[in-house]
Amino acid sequence: MAVEAPRRAQRRATIAYVERRIQDARNWNPPPPLVVATRYVSMLLLLVAIGILVWGLISALAFTSTQTGIPCPDPPQRVSTPPQLVVVLMCVVAFVLGHMTARLQPIDPKMLYVPEGQARAKAKKVGADAGTEDATAVAVFDKDPDKERKDLYHRRNEALIVQALLLLFLLEVAGLLTIEAVTLQRGVWPITYYVRCAYDAAGNQSMLAAAAILFLVGRWFWLPARRQNAASRSE
Amino acid sequence: MPHPGPSDALVLVAGVGLSTLLLLAVADLFLTFDERPSVGEWVTQWARRYPLFALALTLLAGALVGHFYWATAG
């Protein structure tokens, strides 16, 4: 027992150290040149991802419009070139790259807060909470009533677009699930088989397309932490 | 044993799915170029506003990606 106590203390100290390092990494503010460079890298990688997706789309459409058969054995093989592990690694790298490009970009302070009412209430309650994102956002809103109205109008419009896109995404997900279920029930190839067929017939191109999709997913869906002093755009 | 479906259906599914991604990617490129809040920032804000809804959607999206892309060699 006497030996266990120092070990526990050492373990706690190690965990605390790791937590501190993680917190430091989350609150790390990239230098301005890196932020500017990230914006250009983001645009470049987005162009590459768009190019890969267009290439994949054109290839798929061209094949189906000119050929009657399928480009792989029936059922498609699950072992092809490059090996699955390489594909998975490539996708993980693309996912992390997508997140990093989004994370290092400057963040609009208005996007860091939650609903106006909540933010105002919180800022009033906390009072001297200057320096936090919520207080910054409220300060922006409280500066000028006209600007506040204009901001609100623009933000409502933009929020409407985002919600419409989310609705589109949900409808597509529902459609894909329906297609998958119906095709399986009717003895027709499900979407999974087509993905395997693409990997079997054009492994490298499929890997690049999967990596491009994962890059976009990493950019959009891996939430950046609320950094204490996040780099922000100028007004 | 399942057999391949009609190519028209395949074109429709691939076209709609990839076109949506392309539309969002082009929007993201434009917003980044214009230094406006990117798609990720909007999604982040929405997720913070509706965390449970976002969690459910994330699980659904993850399950779909895993189902379509993860073909464990047997």
Both A98 and A191 in one domain: the answer is yes
* Within-domain flag for B17: yes
Please list every residue in chain B whose beta carbon sits closer than 8 Å to the beta carbon of residue A184.
Answer: 2
The predicted structure's pLDDT at residue A84: 85
Decide if B2 is inside a domain.
Answer: no
Cα–Cα distances in angstroms (integers) from residue A50 to residues A12, A199, B25, B71, in the given order: 47, 19, 7, 25
The Cα A128–Cα A110 span in angstroms is 19
Measured CA to CA, the distance from residue B68 to residue A193 in angstroms comes to 8
Q: Does residue A67 lie in a domain region?
A: yes
Domain total of chain B: 2
Q: How far apart are CA A77 and CA A79, in angstroms?
A: 6
> Does A231 reside within a domain?
no
- Domain of B17? 7-36
User: How many domains is chain A partitioned into structurally?
Assistant: 2
User: Looking at the whole model, is its pTM more than 0.90?
Assistant: no
A193–chain B Cβ distance below 8 A for any pair = yes
Residues of chain B contacting residue A159, judged by C-beta atoms under 8 Å apart: 42
User: Do A122 and A59 sit in the same domain of this protein?
Assistant: yes
Q: Which of A78, A89, A217, A221 to mutate: most B Cβ within 10 Å?
A: A221
Q: Quote the domain boundaries for residue A14.
A: 1-30
The ipTM is 0.85
User: In A, which residues are within 8 Å of B49 by CB distance?
Assistant: 114-115
- CA B35, B41, B43, B44: dihedral to nearest 10 degrees? 180
The tens digit of pLDDT for each residue in A92-119 reads 999 999 988 888 877 666 665 555 555 5
SS3 A160: helix
Per the CB < 8 Å rule, is B14 touching A57? Answer: yes
Does residue A73 lie in a domain region? yes
Structural domain contains residue A227: no
Q: Whole-angstrom Cα distance, residue A19 to residue A15? A: 6
Q: Is the pLDDT of residue A31 over 50?
A: yes
Q: In terms of domains, do A21 and A47 share one?
A: no
Q: Is A172 close to B11, i.e. CB distance below 8 A?
A: no
Which of A40, A48, A154, A194 should one mutate to test binding to chain B, selecting the residue with the greatest count of B CBs within 10 A? Answer: A194
What's the pLDDT score for residue A234?
44
Q: Are A101 and A42 in contact (CB under 8 A)?
A: yes
Asked whether residue A183 falls in the same domain as residue A114, the answer is: yes
Predicted local confidence at residue A48, as pLDDT: 96
Q: Are residues A5 and A46 in the same domain?
A: no
User: Smallest Cα–Cα separation from B21: which of A49, A202, A96, A180?
Assistant: A49
A216 confidence band (pLDDT: 50, 70, 90): very high
The answer to whether residue A158 sits within a structural domain is no
Q: Which of the listed ranges A9-18, A167-176, A192-201, B13-22 does the model predict with the highest average pLDDT? A: A9-18
